[in-house]
Structure 1
Amino acid sequence: MANTVATKKRLRITWVKSLIGAKQPQRGTIRALGLKRRGQTVEHDDTPVIRGMIAKVSHLVTVEEVEVAE
C-alpha cells in the first residue's frame, strides 16, 4: 500500500484594499478574520463560516488556497 499524506486545505487571506468608506459590518468582518492592518496576511481553515466572511469582503481581500500536510 502506498504511503499517502493527508492534506488539509487552508486559506491564506491578505487584506489589500483600504476600509475608507466601508460600512461598519465590513470593518467588523475584517477584524473577525484577524486582520489588523492593510497588507497583513492570515491563514484559516477552509470552512463555510470563513468562506462566508470572505464573500462579504471579497472586494477588500485576496485569497489563496494552500494545502498543508497533517
Structure 2
Amino acid sequence: MTAKTITVTLKKSTIKCNEKQKATVRGLGLRKTGTSKTLENTSAVRGMIKKVIHLLDIQE
C-alpha cells in the first residue's frame, strides 16, 4: 500500500522571509521559485506547509 502524497510548488520568493521560514522551505526540499516536490502526507510535513503556506501551491 502506498502512502498518500502531497505535491508542493514554491510560487513566491523567500527573499523577504525570516530565517525560520527560509529554513522550512529548504526543509521541504524546495530551492528556486517554480520548483515542485512530492512529499508524504505526514503530520510533520503538514506542519511545515502550514508555516509557509503563503509561499506555496499545494496539490493532493
TM-score (normalised: structure 1): 0.80
Which protein is bigger by CA-based radius of gyration?
1
* Structure 1 alignment gaps of length 5 or more: 1-5, 66-70
Structure 2 residue aligned with 1:61? 56
Cα distance in 1 for residues equivalent to 2:47 and 2:24 = 10
TM-score (normalised: structure 2): 0.93
Return the structure number with greater helix share.
Answer: 2
Cα distance in 2 for residues equivalent to 1:34 and 1:7 = 21
Do structure 1's residue 21 and structure 2's residue 16 form an aligned pair?
yes
Return the structure number with greater strand share.
Answer: 1
Give, in angstroms, the shift of residue 20 of structure 1: 1.8
* Structure 2 alignment gaps of length 5 or more: none
CA RMSD of aligned residues (A): 1.0
| Structure-to-structure mapping, 1:1-70, within 5 angstroms | 6=1, 8-65=3-60
Give, in angstroms, the shift of residue 8 of structure 1: 3.4
